[in-house]
């Protein structure tokens, strides 16, 4: 059995697909977690709080919890989340320490979460696995209508090393 800290800063598995910044990734994180729990792993999925009415901890099943961390305003746009990553990281660490829980692995999703995951890897001395889902440099090369900022590309490179 492995205790896994899943990091999904900008989208919650609780969010309804198609609303705000939720879509395929939140469904992917939720379903991956379900499958891993079937193999006797336990998961704490850390996401940024965006709904004041949802409890901080939501138990999905006996092995999966979603933990909402306060970091920045509830309605913060995804493009502004970079500035709240240190606050998010501290919130995850505070929760982990209060719970007295240890993790065997950090699994992060998207570059924002990867930044947090790298910091947790160092702090907890555990492996870190990241799923980028998309890469800014690839999106820019494909000439999508929206240009990804240089800080995202730099962040992705840092996390990938």
pLDDT of residue 116: 96
Strand residues in 29-152 grouped as ranges (E): 42-48, 57-61, 64-69, 105-109, 128-131
pLDDT of residue 137: 63
pLDDT of residue 138: 62
Measured CA to CA, the distance from residue 120 to residue 110 in angstroms comes to: 15
Query: How do the pLDDT tens digits run along the chain, 161 residues long?
Result: 899 999 999 887 776 655 565 566 666 677 777 777 677 788 999 999 988 999 999 998 888 999 999 999 999 987 889 899 999 999 999 999 999 999 999 999 878 899 999 999 999 999 999 886 566 566 667 877 777 776 667 666 776 67
Domains of the chain in start order, with CATH, are 3-135 (3.40.50.2000)
pLDDT of residue 132: 65
Taking alpha carbons only, the member of 63, 71, 70, 61 closest to residue 2 is 63
């Amino acid at each position: 059995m492995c205790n896994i800290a899943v990091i999904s800063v900008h989208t919650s598995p609780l969010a309804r697909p198609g609303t705000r910044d939720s879509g395929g990734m939140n469904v992917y994180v939720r379903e991956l977690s379900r499958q891993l729990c079937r193999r006797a792993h336990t998961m704490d999925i850390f996401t940024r709080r965006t709904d004041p009415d949802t409890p901080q901890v939501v138990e999905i099943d006996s092995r999966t919890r979603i933990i909402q961390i306060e970091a920045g305003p509830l309605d913060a746009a995804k493009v502004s989340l970079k500035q709240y990553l240190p606050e998010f990281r501290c919130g995850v660490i505070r929760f982990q320490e209060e719970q007295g829980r240890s993790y065997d692995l950090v699994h992060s999703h998207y570059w924002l979460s990867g930044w947090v995951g790298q910091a947790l890897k160092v702090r907890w001395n555990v492996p870190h696995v990241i799923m980028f889902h998309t890469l800014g440099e690839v999106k820019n090369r494909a000439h999508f209508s929206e240009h990804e900022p240089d800080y995202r590309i730099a962040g992705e490179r840092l996390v990938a090393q």
